[in-house]
Amino acid sequence: MKERQDRPAPVLQEDKEIDRKEGKETEESIVSSIISHYSIMDLSDIYPSFDVDMDGMIELIRNNGYRKVLVQVPEGLKRGAPHMVEKLEEATNASMILDGDPCFGACDNSSVKAKALGMDALIHLGHSDIPSMERDPSMPIHFFPVGMKVNRKILNEGIRELLTSVREDRIGLATTVQHIHLLDEIKVMLKVAGKMVRIGPPGKREFFPGQVIGCSFHCARSIASEVEAFLYIGTGRFHPMGLFFAIRKKVYCLDPMTGRISIFEAREMDRFIRVRHSQITRAQDLIDKGERVGIILCEKPGQKRSDLAGSLSEELNSRGIKNEMIVMDHISPMKIKTLGSSVVVSTACPRIAIDDHRSYSEEGIVILTPVELRIALGKMGIEDYLLDEEW
């Protein structure tokens, strides 16, 4: 699942050093070098549940001659990150700085911070690149996706159970980057069982075929007419819901860690829309009473939608609704409450309004997506509800 293909085997020692010694290395020193290499490469004690491409990071740093590197990791890998960085420094003699700020995707990579710190490059672990993302060519960003290890027996049992439930013959596959390495294997298993299987191409925000992210379900939409249902490989309900919105067909869910099978159907979407409709209605009431609308603009490289924020402001102005644009990279209820805003629309990560709405409601704040603001203004009906994919 590595982004950089055909990677050569890692170098155990510098070629020039071996040339100088003209092959006179003793057997003992060669064995010692191999042992040292694998003690550095092995991260199973740090990340027992993940496949981290330590070889690739070391090779990258050596080949590019990087001396100062900022390392960014997602929240789920933070605990072991200091030990991983220590191993990288041992293997490369480069100086590493670990970014301790929250990280939830490639969209909030620390390239700006890396440049400000005078780094040679940024290594971003855990996510794949967003090809259409704005970036500074003077600051190299290297993405290293991390796969989750699975128990093959549990996975196979899950597939067998799935096949007893699936009546459809034409199936689309989708997953997140943590399980992208399983797609081809599962495709073969379904084809052997007589299913026609399709994996959609990536859009401008995905790197891999069959990949979905919280703000784009292009791979599903692109093949919706070719399939009768989708199989999502992963955990949680947000991505299956996004697939359902994209194709409006049954979505089977396989948790590769437990083998559990579930189905996302229309009634689950209806429950979600009822919750969001209540937030939209509340926003309408507040706007009708003269409340100002805060438009949150984010400067994170993959979340900055200045044009969208500007168009929303123009729409509000045309209706005589007071509003202000607010720049905020780390969005929280307390920050918004401090500004005195009770209605805000986020042009940053679409999941903030969806996943965290309860914590905002507790502070008396309604937070909407751009689609939801349009519904509140009467430009769309609730029956036209869509997840936010405006990029």
| pLDDT tens-digit series, residues 95-124 | 999 999 999 999 999 999 999 999 999 999
What's the CA gap between 222 and 28, in Å, rounded? 57
Q: Which residues touch 339 (CB under 8 Å, ≥6 apart)?
A: 294, 326
What does the pLDDT read at residue 44?
A: 83
Question: What is the CA angle 226-232-238, rounded to 5?
Answer: 115
Per-residue pLDDT averaged across 134-147, rounded?
A: 96
User: Which pLDDT tens digit goes with each residue over 302-313?
Assistant: 999 999 999 999
| Residue of 349 and 11 predicted with greater confidence | 349
Burial class (CB in 10 A: 0-12, 13-18, 19+), 294: buried
Task: Look at residue 41 in the predicted model and tell me its pLDDT.
Answer: 64
Structure-derived torsion over alpha carbons of residues 223, 227, 230, 233, reported in degrees to the nearest 10: -70
Give the percent of the chain with pLDDT over 70. Answer: 89
Would you state the structure tokens that stand for residue 138, as one six-digit string?
């003077």
Spatial separation of the C-alpha atoms in residues 327 and 96, rounded to whole Å? 30
Q: What domains does the chain contain, in order, with CATH numbers?
A: 15-147 (3.40.50.11840), 152-264 (3.40.50.11850), 271-384 (3.40.50.11860)
357: its two tokens: 């709405």
pLDDT of residue 30: 44
Q: How confident is the model at residue 391 (pLDDT cuts 50, 70, 90)?
A: confident
Rounded average pLDDT over 336-351 = 95
* C-alpha pair distances (Å), 227 with each of 169, 196, 230, 250, 255: 8, 8, 7, 10, 21
What is the pTM assigned to this prediction?
A: 0.86
Give the closest residue to 199 by CA, choosing from 168, 234, 165, 175: 175
Per-residue pLDDT, 23: 46
Q: How far is CA 252 from CA 48, 245, 249, in A?
A: 28, 14, 10
pLDDT, tens digit (0-9, with 9 covering 90-100), for 19-76: 444 444 555 454 344 334 434 467 888 999 999 999 999 999 999 999 999 999 999 9
Q: Which of 286, 294, 285 is nearest to 322 (CA)?
A: 294
Q: Helix 266-288 to helix 238-247 angle, to the nearest 10 degrees?
A: 90
Q: Is residue 12's pLDDT more than 70?
A: no
Question: What is the structure's pLDDT at 43?
Answer: 83
Residue 45's pLDDT is 84
Question: Is residue 231 within 8 Å of residue 198, measured between CB atoms?
Answer: no
Residues 9, 13, 15, 18, CA torsion sign: negative
The predicted-structure confidence for 166-212, as pLDDT tens digits, reads as follows 999 999 999 999 999 999 999 999 999 999 999 999 999 999 999 99
Provide the 10 A C-beta neighbour count for residue 247. 21
The mean pLDDT value of the chain amounts to 90
Q: What is the structure's pLDDT at 93?
A: 96
Nearest to 300 by CA among 178, 137, 130, 177: 130
Q: How far is CA 202 from the centre of its chain?
A: 14
